[in-house]
Amino acid sequence: MSESFITSMTGDFRNSNSAASHKYALSPGGNVESNYNDSTVNGFSGHEEETDVEVQKEIWKSILEFGRTIEEQLAKASTDNSNTAPLPKLSLLLSFLKNAFEVRPIPEDIFRAPSVPPEINTCLNNIMGYINKAKKCEAQLMDLLYETHHSGVDLDALQKLLEQTGRSFAVDLDDASELRNQVNLYVDWQKKLDAILSEDELKLSVLEDLAQKGRSFAFRTKSLVQLDNRMHKAHLLRDRIKEWKRVCI
């Protein structure tokens, strides 16, 4: 599902001028409302009330059509071993459900045929199942990034958690791509740090430059926190030596 298509689905479905204009298909058996008399719904009568009910029905049928398209895309993404199927963004799925759940009246109030509301509810609940899995993983990422703020983020744990995102539950977290980029930057940064620390003679200025680079990233790793602590001790020692030399002279 292209992002532009999802974006078009996340508009306000209460806008009858746009939503009611979509074509729809409910089931292989055809339109379950073909023999339904609109004038009997909720006590409505007259041409104006019939028109209102018909518009409301069209809105919910459009939502169902959109929801089924999302379901198909989620199912395809979760079973595509080639990793080529596009993943819908979590924020866009949430926006779609939010707008759908805010539409009034609800399907049960406008559809007389009993099969239509269950189809809508099943579709939206199925999408919600995907969303819940994605939100759980998102919460774990946030816990890892913020709860370890003072001691630094465990880069290996973050990498492992990011490997579980996306394809495993067919939904793309909005910040996952940027986090992966940041992890890659830190991996390169860690290699440089390891190379410097392996040298026989350490230059404080080189470590300071590397630490400054690490602080420009989105989060602080344990290695960066340890390097900052190490340099802080080196600065204290350097200042004490200077003071000792001054006193001795």
Quote the pLDDT of residue 50. Answer: 55
Same domain, 17 and 126: yes
Task: Check the CA dihedral 111-115-120-124 and report its sign.
Answer: positive
The residue among 36 and 217 whose pLDDT is bigger is 217
Residue 102 belongs to a domain = yes
Residue 231 structural domain: 175-248
Reported residue count of the chain is 249
Same domain, 121 and 211: no
Round to whole Å and give the CA distance between 127 and 125.
5
Residue 219 belongs to a domain = yes
Tokens of 164: 């579980």
Same domain, 125 and 19: yes
Same domain, 131 and 191: no
Quote the pLDDT of residue 234. Answer: 76
State which of 142, 161, 188 marks the end of a domain: 142
pLDDT of 187 > 60? The answer is yes
Binned at pLDDT 50, 70 and 90, residue 82 comes out as low
CB 110 within 8 A of CB 60: yes
23 CB neighbour count, 10 Å cutoff: 8
Residue 164 belongs to a domain = no
Tokens of 158: 């973050």
Same domain, 132 and 10: yes
pLDDT of 7 > 60? The answer is no
Residue 14 belongs to a domain = yes
